[in-house]
Structure 1
Amino acid sequence: MLRIKSLSKSFADTSVLSALDWEIPDGKVFGLIGSNGAGKSTLMRCISQVYDYDGEITIDGAPLSEQKEKLFFVSDEPFYFNRFNTNEMKDYYKLFYPNFDEDYYRKLLELFHFDEKKPLHLLSRGLKRQSIVILALSCQPKVLLMDESFDGLDPMVRLTLKRELIRLVDAGEISVIISSHNIRELEDICDEMALLENKKIVFTQSLDELRENYHKVQLGYSEAPAAELFENMPLLSYEINNKVVTVLYHGEEAREQIEATEPILFNPLPLSMEEIFVVEMEVNQNEN
């Protein structure tokens, strides 16, 4: 298990993360969501030991700083030496990752139809990402961090990568944290989602819990209701359009108060993960 306790990070006088706590169980894919500037990339760089920080990060109870080979960070700007190819970068990473699996590396080259001999500085953004993903998986980390790592990949490569990550996670070989602005894409692969706002992890929930606990409903009334009717309800959002009101809420208390208004129409609507997180981000930003 990866455990983060009381993590804080500042740049000069600007606090980015403050007393952040988070636990990532083994064998899970986590999506990390947050608004621009919330600190997602900063958190990833703290976990990967790129940045100094205050607080504690452990894997299986031992300090991460003493077992860096158990973690690999695929950043939004992958590192490579000028004029090196993937095969040469492989030899470099072998120096730091003693569990590097040469046979698995060869299988990944075939899986992604990737030419390891092409100089990386001549490759497109998407091919550079394929290169670092192949190297990352071959290093056999226990925890894989991916920051916007699907950007630039064509649809077939994205699907192949998702399938391979799911296979590894299901086999209990790895835990994955994926930071992305593309919530729809995270839905396809993640077991749980975490929201980073106001310098902390606001909540972590499984996709099943999110779908079960959050609701979007269209209400109909015989006369147009006043806004005051909904202002004091524990709603995430509401929109009044004459006699029709659309509400987004979670929890039984909100539902009971809605039903007490005696709508003549109570029509559940489809609710996407993106809608949930956009509303939650707005709520947390307003509370700040």
Structure 2
Amino acid sequence: MLEVNNLSKSYSNTPILKNVSLTLNSNRIHFIMGRNGSGKTTFIKCLLGLEHYEGTITYGGKVLEDVRKGIFAIFDDIPLYNDLNGFQNIRLMLSDKKFFDKNYIAELGLLSDKKLKENIKNYSLGERKKLALIAAILNNPKYLIIDEISNGLDIETLETLREKLNVLRQNSLILATGHHFEFYESIIDELLVLNAGTLTYISDYRKGGDKLYEIYKQYIASGK
């Protein structure tokens, strides 16, 4: 469980997040919808302790430092070591090196052995995301946070991502953001809308039969 209470964040006296409070349950995929610049990435950075903020954030009643090894995050701009190869970067991203298994990595089929032996500077954006996904699968984190991961991925990799997220949710709390609504529509359990600094939980959004794009137009594009 992830609990956020009265979270506020401003830049140069401009409020980005305003007294956000929410509870996210484990074994679910939670999706935050919002326009570019609405504060989605800022919210994630607050969760990870990468931004100063007002309010409290706890993970199962514990503070971030007590659970950090159980958290894995994938950002759109993935920070990797360009002069190290894929295998070396994966090792660095693991919370426990015993999770490193070249045979299992090969079975995933996301990147070839040849590509994994290449330096990261030769990777495309999609290949960098595949590498981070491999590390996430190996870590099997209690909390998985993914920001715009579907950007730059081909159809085959999106199908693999969909499959792996469905498996990971069995042991993880997954929080995702993005604009690839068609991809997320089939896998998310809970929907939140970030607009004008506030997060709104959309209860039972599936019951109305609305698509994510329709909800986006209703709550965000319309200025509601």
Tell me if both proteins adopt one fold, taking TM over 0.5 as the criterion. yes
Query: Could you say which residue in structure 2 is the equivalent of 1:79?
Result: 79
Partner of 1:107: 104
- Matched residue, 1:7: 7
Separation of aligned partners in 1, 2:159 and 2:213: 20
Residues in 2 aligned to 1:60 and 1:99: alpha-carbon distance in whole angstroms: 25
Maintained 8 Å contact 1:30/1:177: yes
Q: Which of residues 196, 205, 217 in structure 2 aligns to 1:198? A: 196
Contact 1:33 1:180 in 2 (8 A): yes
CA distance in 2, matches of 1:211, 1:72: 28
Question: Which residue matches 1:158?
Answer: 158
Match of residue 44 from structure 1: 44
- The answer to whether the 8 Å contact 1:109/1:134 transfers is no
Q: How many residues align?
A: 221
Aligned-residue offset at 1:109:
3.5
Is 1:61 paired with 2:61?
Answer: yes
Following TM superposition, where does structure 1 have runs of at least 4 consecutive aligned residues deviating by more than 4 angstroms? none
TM-score when normalising by structure 1: 0.72
1:133-167 C-alpha deviation (Å, 9 max, x unpaired): 11122223111111110111110111011101102
Q: Contact 1:21–1:200 (CA<8 Å) still a contact in 2?
A: no
Displacement after TM superposition at 1:174 (Å)? 1.1
CA separation of 1:48/1:137 partners in 2, compared to 1, >3 Å: closer, same or farther? farther
Report the TM-score, using the length of structure 2 for normalisation: 0.91
What's the counterpart of residue 275 of structure 1?
Answer: 214
Bigger radius of gyration: 1
Highest relative contact order (Cα 8 Å, sep 6+), 1 or 2?
A: 2
Residue 177 in 1 paired to residue 168 in 2? Answer: no
3-state SS of paired residue (1:9): strand
Distance in 2, Cα, partners of 1:55 & 1:277:
28
Q: Check conservation: 1:34, 1:40, Cα contact below 8 A.
A: yes
Aligned-pair CA distance for 1:52 = 1.8
> How has the CA–CA distance of structure 1 residues 17 and 155 changed in structure 2, closer, same or farther, with 3 Å as cutoff?
same
Counterparts of 2:29 and 2:97, CA distance in 1: 22
Q: 2:6–2:21: 8 Å Cα contact kept in structure 1?
A: yes
> Does the 8 A contact of 1:20 with 1:200 survive in 2?
yes
Instruction: Provide the rounded CA distance (Å) in 2 between the counterparts of 1:75 and 1:168.
Output: 18
CA gap 1:44/1:109 in 2 versus in 1, 3 angstroms: farther
Alpha-carbon distance change, 204 to 275 in structure 1, aligned in 2, over 3 angstroms: closer
